[in-house]
Every structure is written in structure tokens, then in C-alpha cells.
């Protein structure tokens, strides 16, 4: 058997094996683990009979791994006026690229109470801003305080007195 045929045969056999080894060595790292800044917003605000507010706070995890949300410290403002301070310990584990809600009750400022009363009486919505921090822990890492600032709007919900979404 000539030496050139043996070398050619070896190359034909070795080339696909080397390609397979290179591809499998790249795939051993698993999925990319990306940690992204979480977000917070109001999903619903209900004025209770005692004047306190019940908030459904929506927490978004934009990371590619689960995160545990342990503390929320946010200032709520309506049309640039202080409305309430939110302090909560949701202790929620939120899956990758998912969201969940935490219900908390708080005492609003007198200006916040007046602004909500006006919006509900007139049947109009109002703009709000949340600013502060959310403490969240990515899986396998330490807790971190994330700065949060979000703006959106709430509108009265037909058929649910005292409720805005």
C-alpha cells in the first residue's frame, strides 16, 4: 500500500473527528448567564376604607437566571408631587425573564391622598414616578441594591371603586 494513500485516508478520517471535537468543546459552557437590572412598577392601587393604599407592586427580572427580591425602598410621586414612601420585603424568587407582584399596604401623604381622590372623582388617570432601590440577589451571587426609576400612568378601573391600574 503506497504511503500517500494511507496519509490521504488518515486525513479523511481525522478531519471530521477534529471538527466534532472542536464543536463539542465550545458547547460545554452551557447557557449564557446574564444579570440585568430589575425594574419595578405599579400594577394596581386601591384606596381602602381606612384611607390607606393597597399597592400591587410589579417586580420584573430581566436576567437570564432566577433572582430573589428581598427589599424595596421606593418613593412614589404623582405629577411630580410626593405621594407615598414604599418599604416592603417581598422575599420573592422570580424566574429568568419573568415578573411577579407583591401586595403591600401603606399610608400615603396628604397630598397623595388628595391627588388620588381628585383623579377618582374626575374619572381621569394620573402619571406616576417610582424612584429608589430594589434589593435583588442573582442565583449564586450576593445581594445587590439596584437603583430604580420608572414612570408610567394609572387609570380608574370601571366597576372597581377606588381602584386604579
Q: Is 163 contained in some domain?
A: no
* Together in a domain, 19 and 61: no
* Together in a domain, 1 and 65: no
The fraction of the chain above a pLDDT of 90, given in percent, is: 76
User: If 0-12 CB within 10 Å is exposed, 13-18 middle and 19+ buried, where does residue 160 land?
Assistant: exposed
Task: Kindly indicate the confidence band of residue 90, based on its pLDDT and cuts at 50, 70 and 90.
Answer: very high
Is residue 106 within 8 Å of 84, Cβ to Cβ?
yes
Average pLDDT over residues 19-47: 80
Task: Kindly indicate the confidence band of residue 24, based on its pLDDT and cuts at 50, 70 and 90.
Answer: low
* Together in a domain, 24 and 59: no
* Together in a domain, 113 and 51: yes
* Together in a domain, 25 and 46: no
Q: Is 117 contained in some domain?
A: yes
Domain of 130 in residue numbering reads as: 39-154
Task: Kindly indicate the confidence band of residue 154, based on its pLDDT and cuts at 50, 70 and 90.
Answer: very high
- Average pLDDT over the chain, rounded to whole? 90
pLDDT digits (tens, 9 = 90+) for 102-153: 999 999 999 999 999 999 999 999 999 999 999 999 988 899 999 999 999 9
Q: What is the pLDDT of residue 27?
A: 56
* Together in a domain, 142 and 74: yes
Q: What is the pLDDT of residue 163?
A: 98
* Together in a domain, 105 and 49: yes
* Together in a domain, 94 and 145: yes
Average pLDDT over residues 38-44: 98
* Together in a domain, 77 and 124: yes
Q: Is 45 contained in some domain?
A: yes
Is residue 139 within 8 Å of 66, Cβ to Cβ?
yes
Please tell me the total count of domains within the chain. 2
User: Residue 121 and residue 80: Cα distance in Å, rounded?
Assistant: 20
Q: What is the pLDDT of residue 6?
A: 72
Is residue 77 within 8 Å of 131, Cβ to Cβ?
yes
Q: Is 70 contained in some domain?
A: yes
Average pLDDT over residues 79-91: 95
Q: What is the pLDDT of residue 1?
A: 53
* Together in a domain, 132 and 61: yes
Over 60: is that where the pLDDT of 23 sits?
no
Q: What is the pLDDT of residue 35?
A: 93
User: Residue 90 maps to which CATH number?
Assistant: 2.60.40.1820
R_g of the chain, CA atoms, integer Å: 27
Q: Tell which wins on pLDDT, 48 or 5.
A: 48
* Together in a domain, 13 and 64: no
Is residue 38 within 8 Å of 74, Cβ to Cβ?
no
Amino acid at each position: 500500500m503506497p504511503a500517500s494513500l494511507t496519509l490521504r485516508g488518515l486525513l479523511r478520517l481525522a478531519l471530521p473527528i477534529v471538527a466534532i471535537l472542536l464543536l463539542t468543546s465550545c458547547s460545554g459552557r452551557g447557557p449564557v448567564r446574564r444579570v440585568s437590572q430589575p425594574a419595578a412598577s405599579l400594577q394596581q392601587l386601591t384606596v381602602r376604607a381606612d384611607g390607606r393604599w393597597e399597592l400591587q407592586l410589579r417586580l420584573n427580572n430581566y436576567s437570564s437566571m432566577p433572582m430573589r427580591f428581598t427589599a424595596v425602598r421606593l418613593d412614589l410621586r404623582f405629577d411630580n408631587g410626593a405621594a407615598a414612601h414604599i418599604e416592603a420585603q417581598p422575599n420573592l424568587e422570580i424566574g429568568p425573564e419573568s415578573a411577579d407582584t407583591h401586595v403591600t399596604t401603606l399610608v400615603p401623604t396628604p397630598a397623595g391622598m388628595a391627588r388620588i381622590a381628585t383623579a377618582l372623582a374626575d374619572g381621569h388617570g394620573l402619571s406616576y414616578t417610582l424612584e429608589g432601590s430594589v434589593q435583588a440577589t442573582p442565583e449564586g451571587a450576593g445581594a445587590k441594591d439596584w437603583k430604580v426609576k420608572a414612570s408610567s400612568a394609572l387609570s380608574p378601573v370601571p366597576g372597581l371603586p377606588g381602584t386604579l391600574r
